[in-house]
Amino acid sequence: MIHRRHFLPLAAVTGVTLAAPRAFAQSTEKAAAFVKSTGDKLVAVVNGPGSASQKRADMTRVIDSAVDVDGVGRFCLGRYWRQANPQQQKAYLQLFHEVLVTNITSKLGEYQGVSFTMGRSRMQDDNAVVSTTVTRPNNAPTAVDWIIADPNSGPRIVDVVAEGTSLRLTQRSDYASYLVHNNNNIDALITAMKNQVSQSG
């Protein structure tokens, strides 16, 4: 079930035209630096020593500092977020965090020896898109784009696109499908998420 964001005086126009590329460049540079720093931390956890519980704790800290978990969680629930009551919203977000951490940490062993290289960065609407290539032993390189919101003021990861597939769109589709097949019952989804976390523990 659970798998895998003018009409202006000539002088002013000229000023905006010259300033915009610099502003975009600053945004993409900051986003790229953020992804490089976050990626280095992730690789250090995956390839470093420590018990499974220690790695889970270390990975949780990286996720909490780099990912807009609540924002991604709300996006993944889609229209059902507005239908949920405050208690359901709170329970869902807490479980979404646990599911995210569990899904990542359960696969750490598969990524031993992982590395990444930085690619180009660009702006897409208000977000920055930072391209990387992820490499791990005995696997073909994977193209991964990191979608970064607020690259200037407070960069946070809001999506990861692996080989053209958006993880948050995939998750949103999975949740919507589950809810449709369970009479749009948000409590049923919450129960299923609890079961997933407990079974992975």
C-alpha distances in Å from residue 169, one per residue of 14, 40, 156, 175: 39, 26, 17, 10
Domain locations along the chain: 10-200
What phi and psi values does residue 146 have, to the nearest 5 degrees? -105, 120
Residue 141 identity (one-letter amino acid): P
Which residues pair with residue 149 across a beta bridge?
156
Closest CA to 149 of 49, 66, 25: 66
Q: What tokens does 196 get?
A: 């997933």
List the beta strands (DSSP E) in the chain: 115-124, 127-135, 142-149, 156-162, 165-166
**pTM, full prediction:** 0.83
pLDDT per residue as tens, the chain (201 positions): 444 434 333 333 333 444 445 555 688 999 999 999 999 999 999 998 888 889 989 999 999 999 999 999 999 999 999 999 999 999 999 999 999 998 888 887 788 899 999 999 999 988 999 999 999 998 899 999 999 999 988 999 999 999 999 999 999 999 999 999 999 999 999 999 999 888 765
List the beta strands (DSSP E) in 78-200: 115-124, 127-135, 142-149, 156-162, 165-166
71: which residues sit within 8 A by CB, 6+ positions away?
Answer: 5, 149, 156, 158
DSSP string covering 48-61, please? S---HHHHHHHHHH
- What is the topology classification, in CATH, of domain 10-200? Nuclear Transport Factor 2; Chain: A, (3.10.450)
In angstroms, rounded to a whole number, what is the distance separating the alpha carbons of residues 155 and 139?
30
Give the strand pairing for 142-149 and 127-135.
Answer: antiparallel
Q: Is 176 exposed, middle or buried (0-12, 13-18, 19+ CB in 10 A)?
A: middle
What's the CA angle centered on 135, arms 76 and 118, to 5 degrees?
A: 75
